[in-house]
């Protein structure tokens, strides 16, 4: 299992107690800062096959909802429009 933390990188975890502790931490984190980035089906099942907690689903496919896809594109579009407006009208 690999536990992804936004500020620590990737931490390998191997023992069952550590895996259980990591799963509990992922489930109770209120800002979704912790995610499981591996493809171990037992761990994905333990986390409820929830896209908010797992990068992959039980089929081994990457979880990327439309909100995640379009959210990033929308942000970039808004930034580009702001840049264009500021440079054109100032």
pTM of the model: 0.58
User: What are 45-62's pLDDT values in tens digits?
Assistant: 999 998 888 888 999 888
Those residues with Cβ within 8 angstroms of residue 65's Cβ, 6 or more apart along the chain or in another chain: 51
Rounded to whole angstroms, the Cα distance separating 66 from 27 reads: 22
Question: What residue has token string 């930034």?
Answer: 79
- What's the confidence (pLDDT) of residue 70? 58
Which residue did the predictor score with more confidence, 37 or 48? 48
């Amino acid at each position: 299992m690999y536990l992804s933390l936004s500020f620590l990188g990737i931490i390998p975890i191997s023992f069952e107690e550590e895996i259980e502790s990591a799963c509990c931490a992922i489930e109770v984190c209120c800002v979704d800062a912790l995610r499981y980035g591996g493809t171990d089906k037992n761990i994905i099942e333990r986390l409820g096959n929830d896209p908010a907690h797992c990068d992959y689903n039980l089929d081994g496919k990457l979880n990327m909802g439309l909100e995640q896809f379009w959210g990033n594109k929308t942000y970039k579009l808004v930034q580009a429009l702001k840049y264009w407006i500021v440079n054109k009208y100032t």
